[in-house]
Chains A and B, each alone.
Chain A
Amino acid sequence: MTGRGELYACLYIKEFPAQSLLRVRPQLRQRPCVVMDGDAPFRTVCSLNGHARRAGIVRGMSQAEVDTFTSVVLLFRSRGEEENTRGALLECASRISPRIEELMEAEMFACVLDISGTARLSGSPQKLAKALLQQVRNVGVSASIAISRNFHAAVCMARGMSRTGSVVIAQGEESRVLAPLPLSILQLSEEEAKTFERWGIRSLGALAALTEEPLIARMGQEGRRLRRLALGELPHLFVPKEPQFKLEEYQDLDHPVQDVDSLLFVIRLLLEKLMIRAAARVLALASVTLDSSLEDKTTYSHTIRSVLPSNDLHLWLKLIHLHLQSYPPQAAVLTLRLYADPEPTSKLQLGLFSPQLPEAVKLDVTLTKIRAIVGEDRVGRAVLKDTHQHDAFFMETFSVPSTSESADLSSTESFLAMRRFRHPLSLKVVIDKENLKAVFFQRKRYDVAFAYGPWRRGGDWWSSTPWEEEEWDVVARDQQGELLCCCIKRDRSGRAWQMVGIYD
């Protein structure tokens, strides 16, 4: 919106890809340079400097065409360097005002600063523009700066400036100052450009002079918008760019370190810094990523997660300690980088005297310790798969369910449970006339009292891994009279017998 107290400064950088590359190659600035974009052989010129333009090169030329010019330096577009330059420019702008809106334009960099209320801090708009221009020059790029009370007027003016420098548009002077600028700065569609060309309108002043109602009748609301742009009256809702909040700390070590305790000392310092920054925004650390470069030229990158976001330094140190013990770096650590994902702080209800359920944070540490003892995939809760196949389940990370469902506690039905043998356990079976007579198990002979079966089972015949087996439920006794109830199976060849499990 355009209001009385509003003041905007537009920082506009033309030929951004070329300027990004030349800012770190000052020796090339006095030579014609072009930046090629795309994959060979379809590379075209996407950006160029003033010397190249004066030599006759235009944007869109192919590499073969550029090669016809002598002493032209070919550069290739680097998004990384553009990103670095962009970051440096935004940092310059943020020194003037924290409220910055970035505009997305191809091959250009443009951002608008809300500088209303900065007069006491930075002086007059002219002084502010000069200071900003100087800062941008220090980065190594040349820019145009336009200051106006209207957002779009500032952008149009900065876009239309033929030379680098700064312009301050006084209040009420917007239409007069914008009048000589060409229509092309409004970024018209092809159809609109043709229409205005037919009408003989080539400047913003000519467009502003049109009467509004007939223009709307011919071009619709878009015509009205363009006219108001030309007049410097179009309102704008300023959406400041929120700086990305990144929790990251980096430390170069003086000497390679392999000892976990020594590493933890450094990690502790970095964690403290991260936690202070997170706590300042009422956030807590949800996960911490350790990223280190090692002495043997490899990297070590591991992410440690907590079950609940927490800023408890001891908890994080314990989790990282246990993780480093389980997965130690293969060589001494040279550099240490810690990233953290922040999340809103969690609420914990502590038990009155003794906890009714495991406390989430304490449980997390306990589970990490248990994982270090028995292995990563050996702890958790079992989730059954939707199949009739035996022992079909997978393990999932254990956490205390938040909801408690009421169940009927009147009586529990008693079922026979099975103790399963997960590794194939071969059996010797004595068969007499297709009847099971005895089973040899754990070096003991069990005489079969009852054998129920064979029960033929199968499934997944529609997939590439079908299964089929024959099972018997066996009730047997050893010489001392001890009972053994088990489930045994025979493979498809009919020769090998295996113990499935014991009913217990």
Chain B
Amino acid sequence: MTSASQIRTQIETVLGNRIPGALTPRPQTVRPVTSLGIASIDGALNGGLPAGAVTEVVGEESSGRTSLALSFAARMTQAGKVCAWIDVADALDPESAAATGVDLRRLLWVRCRTSNEHVSSTSPRSEEMCQALKVADLLLQSGGFSLITLDMGSVLPEYVLRVPLSTWFRYRAAAERTQTSFLLLTQKSCAKSSSNMILKLRAREMNESQRSISFFTGLNTDIEVIRERFTPSPASIPGLKKQPHSYEAVNWYRRTTWSGRR
């Protein structure tokens, strides 16, 4: 009687030309992640943000994108790594970064906004976008940066969506090669399949206890993973159908520097 393994070998030999290793489970690649140091978010993200990949953090103003990116940068710089912040709108506040725990000596800050002609507008335009994309290319190619944040949080989505998809694909390939975590802060998702993970952030209403205090204490944010490539599956053999994601939003509270712990 032929054993199961013999039958499998026979089938694989027959299908070898068309589907190599048809019945052999693919070896799972361990994709490294870097923890943010915030237990609730790390739990929801299966350990943290992926290294060597593009992660999109999308949300409206005040949704918490900058705080999340700075928390990640703080974690990286505290571990002795070097990070870069490409600031399209020149909006980064070094005081906030230092308060979050970012070692400013290890943070390369590139401020793109140079022209004063449209200062009445809050949104940068194509000139700054071009600068930022070129700088991102250079930094990704040079290597050695553990985290590169491209902050386009103030750029209107219609400008961001004009960036060709090939650009994001190039960034993804470069990030993979140099094992750099590439964080993209935008209002709407734009990198499509080039991003490993898309996090959607949404600010929540203040609760009763916050309202009762006479000064501004902080904000609550809902974080939701709306896309994740290479989701770790418990089964060794992937199913024929891709399983739908079932993520739950995680609540994240950020307090102001002048208020105490809750």
Contacts and interface: CB of A to CB of B under 8 A. Distances in A.
Interface in A456-497: 473, 475, 482-486
B37 A412 contact: yes
A369 B96 contact: no
B139 interface: yes
Q: Which of A373, A410, A424, A452 has the most chain B CB within a 10 Å cutoff?
A: A373
A413 B255 CA distance: 9
B23 interface: no
Contacts of B146: 356
Contacts of B120: 425-426
B154 A419 contact: yes
Contact of B62 (A366, A413, A452, A503): A503
A370 interface: yes
Contact of A370 (B81, B135, B144): B135
A502 interface: yes
Interface string A336-363: 0000000000000001001111110011
B192 interface: no
A383 interface: yes
Nearest to A378: B111
B114 A409 contact: no
B210 to A, nearest CB: 9
Contacts of A405: 80, 103
A382 B104 contact: yes
A416 B82 contact: no
A26 interface: no
A415 B254 contact: yes
Given A381-B109, A407-B78, A374 B131 contact: yes
A398 B60 CA distance: 31
Contacts of B111: 374, 378-379
Q: Which of A358, A395, A407, A414 has the most chain B CB within a 10 Å cutoff?
A: A414
Interface stretch (B12-20, B65-73, B229-237): B65-73
Interface stretch (B1-9, B87-95, B159-167, B240-248): B87-95
Nearest to A406: B80
A83 interface: no
Interface size class of A (residues with CB under 8 A): 35 or more
A421 B67 contact: no
Nearest to B39: A411
B142 A415 contact: no
B61 A358 contact: no
B105 A401 contact: yes
A50 interface: no
A39 B64 CA distance: 72
Contacts of B79: 407, 409
A417 interface: yes
Interface in B219-262: 219, 252-257
Given A378-B114, A379-B111, 13 more contacts: A355-B143, A369-B138, A374-B110, A381-B107, A415-B257, A417-B93, A417-B100, A424-B119, A425-B120, A452-B214, A484-B62, A502-B61, A504-B62
Per CB-CB distance, the 5 closest pairs between chain A and chain B, nearest first, are A358-B144, A412-B37, A404-B80, A473-B216, A423-B119
15 contacts: A355-B143, A355-B178, A378-B114, A382-B109, A391-B93, A405-B80, A408-B78, A409-B37, A411-B39, A412-B100, A416-B219, A419-B91, A425-B119, A425-B122, A475-B216
